[in-house]
């Protein structure tokens, strides 16, 4: 009849010796999952931030596009209101400028 107690002891010893090899990868896997979750949240927040900045840039471009013709119109109106033939040039002021 075989001696089961010897087999049980050696099997138990073998399992105890390999247990850290099993526990360590599980711990690393859990840490990796937590890291992935954290990074996914961070990426989501960054995407939202980029989206808001893109929207602000688009708005600024639209505003600039609307203001450019207005400025051109004011400049043209200002030029048309001045009669260049009646303008007297002040040389000292011109030199200073």
Per-residue pLDDT of the chain (97 residues; tens, 9 = 90+): 455 555 666 888 887 887 777 667 888 899 999 999 999 999 999 999 999 999 999 999 999 999 999 888 888 888 887 755 555 556 665 555 5
In the chain, what is the greatest distance between 2 CA atoms, to the nearest angstrom?
Answer: 129
Total residue length of the chain: 97
Using alpha carbons, list the distances in angstroms from residue 44 to 3, 34, 38, 39, 87. 61, 15, 10, 8, 62
User: What's the half-sphere exposure (Cβ side, CA atoms, 13 Å) at 38?
Assistant: 6
């Amino acid at each position: 009849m075989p001696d089961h107690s010897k087999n049980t002891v050696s099997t138990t010893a073998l399992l105890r010796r390999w247990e850290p090899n099993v526990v360590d990868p599980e711990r690393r896997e859990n840490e990796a999952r937590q890291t992935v979750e954290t990074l996914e949240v961070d990426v989501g927040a960054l995407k939202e931030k980029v989206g808001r900045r893109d929207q602000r840039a688009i708005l600024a471009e639209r505003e600039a596009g609307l203001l450019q013709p207005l400025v051109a119109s004011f400049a043209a109106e200002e030029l048309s209101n001045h009669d260049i033939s009646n303008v007297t040039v002040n040389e000292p002021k011109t030199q200073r400028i």
